[in-house]
Amino acid sequence: MTLADYLSLFAMISIWTLLGINIFLAVGGAIYYYKMANTDPHVELDEYPFVSVMVPAHNEQAVVKRTVEALLRFDYPQDRYEVIVINDNSSDDTARVLKELQELHSDRYLIVVNTNNIVGGQGKSNALNIGYSVARGEVFAIYDADNTPETTALRLLVENLMADDSLAAVIGKFRTRNRNASLLTRFVNIETLAHQCMNQAGRWFYFGLCTIPGTNFVIRRSIVEEIGGWDPKALSEDTEISFRIYRMGYRIKLQPQAVTWEQEPFRLDIWFKQRTRWSMGNVYVLVNNFKYIFDPYGGKMRLDVLYYTLVYIFMLTALVCSDSLFVLGVLGYTHVSLGGLSTMVWVLNCILFVCSVMLTLSTEKNEFSAQSAFLVLLMLFSYSKLWVAVVLKAIYLSIKQALTKKTITWYKTERSAD
């Protein structure tokens, strides 16, 4: 057996393992969606807690108005929540837009915290810590500045959180607001539904596990206090905080009927930078939590660490090997002599991938169509390959950062007016 044989065998096992896991999660997620769709998601509370809705905003003039107005439209009791927008060292007109909003909604609790480049501009975690310092809510709700949550979202999230003491946080679902803006946003929309939302639903259904997605979630103030706020070193603060919550013995629940619509990157360069930041964050979380895999008291969180390990180590290596072998094979530099690796296996893999994504799309209105099936197939050979490049760059930057000990800079995703 040659090296190419070993690598192709490794690639095949890794890819099928991950596909199997994702299918397992998709089926569980779909069952959970179905159950939730047929139950009343509301839990009436005797008293609704005071909620601080925090929105970190850095150069968000194009979208922040729409976001704040959506936040002020929540069907949550108006006197029981405040909206805190942390205008984090913006150099554009965000401050003016927010000022006008404050004047327009002077009867509402709309607080704007403007920071300069000394205390602010150091990333989302830092901005949330600033917001936390002025927040008076018993519960925090976090939204990104490009979000348009549905009016019921906050109520649903808070009701579910308060109904169960074992919950530290409740997360909602997020959808793509600008899915028709470009081919890229269509891909992102499918990826969001299939690999982020459905994956979360599956993990919750089987293991009671979820990861905070960065937006559209509520968390108890006591928990944030206990963990000492957000870690400013973490680029992917949502994943990092989720791991910390699970280590404390709490759970995070998914409430799929609490929906927010967010703007996704519509240009490849913006998408690439955003995903590189996410991946760097996940690599950071993986490196910092890998030790818990072997910790017998690590709890359920170990499953997530294991999943991250499979994705960021095995899947990545498998895809690099598989693609490299394919290219080298086409160029005539190498060939796989291992018998039994028929093309049919790869075809089956594609069929299964398309089917599992289509299952996810079938749970949403206006998403299930022949065009979507075609896009999923196209995505497999284009968008999915970009993921490899993103993670490789993230790993390279993480290593470089660790060696040079440079401070992490937070890439701010560029927005546009819809």
Partner 1 sequence: MLQEDDQSKALGGQVYVNNDVYPLCQTSGNITHFAYYTDEQPLLSALLASCLQLWQWPYKNAPTAYGQYLVIDNVFPFLDLEKMMERTEILEAEGVPYILAVTPIFSNGEYPSMKRFCEYLRYVQSKGVGIILRVPFVSIEQVEAEELTRHIALAYEAYAMYGVYPMAIEAPKTWLQCENGLEALRGFLTVFLFETDEILQGPAMTENVAYRDGHQIIAPAWEQQQAFSSSYAQAIYYDAQMDVEDLRTQVQRIKASKRVLKNLNETENRVYCGDYAVNNSDGLLQVNGENVSLAYVPFEYDPNYTFDRGISQYLKEQIETSNRYLMIFVIGASIIFLGMIILFRRQIRRELLLGRRSRRRKRKNEEVSRQ
Residues that bind partner 1 (CB under 8 A): 1, 5, 9, 12, 16, 23, 27, 30, 33-34, 37-38, 332, 335, 337-342, 344-345, 348, 351-352, 355-356, 358-359, 362-365, 368
Closest approach of partner 1 to the CB of residue 266, in Å = 27
Cβ closer to partner 1: 116 or 342?
342
Cβ closer to partner 1: 322 or 363?
363
Q: What is the DSSP string of 321-361?
A: HHHHHHHHHHHTS-----TT--HHHHHHHHHHHHHHHHHHH
The helix (H) or strand (E) run that includes residue 159 is helix 153-162
Chain centroid to Cα 192, Å, comes to 8
Closest approach of partner 1 to the CB of residue 333, in Å = 9
Cβ burial, residue 9 (10 Å; 0-12/13-18/19+): middle
Cβ closer to partner 1: 365 or 405?
365
Cβ closer to partner 1: 190 or 397?
190
User: Which stretches within 228-369 are classed as H helix?
Assistant: 237-247, 268-289, 301-309, 316-331, 343-362
Cβ closer to partner 1: 10 or 272?
10
Closest approach of partner 1 to the CB of residue 208, in Å = 22
CA 169/CA 31 separation, integer angstroms? 22
Asked if 115 and 121 touch (Cβ cutoff 8 Å), the reply is yes
Per residue in 308-321, is it b (16+ CB within 10 Å) or e — as a string?
Answer: bebbbebbbebbeb
| Residue among 27, 5, 11, 24 at smallest CA distance from 345 | 11
The helix (H) or strand (E) run that includes residue 174 is strand 167-176
Closest approach of partner 1 to the CB of residue 114, in Å = 43
Cβ closer to partner 1: 48 or 204?
204
> C-alpha distances in angstroms, 182 versus 29, 188, 261, 326?
28, 10, 17, 29
Closest approach of partner 1 to the CB of residue 369, in Å = 11
Cβ closer to partner 1: 23 or 104?
23
Cβ closer to partner 1: 217 or 353?
353
> C-alpha distances in angstroms, 12 versus 198, 206, 316, 332?
24, 26, 12, 21
DSSP character for 80? Answer: G
Closest approach of partner 1 to the CB of residue 398, in Å = 35
Closest approach of partner 1 to the CB of residue 204, in Å = 18
Closest approach of partner 1 to the CB of residue 179, in Å = 17
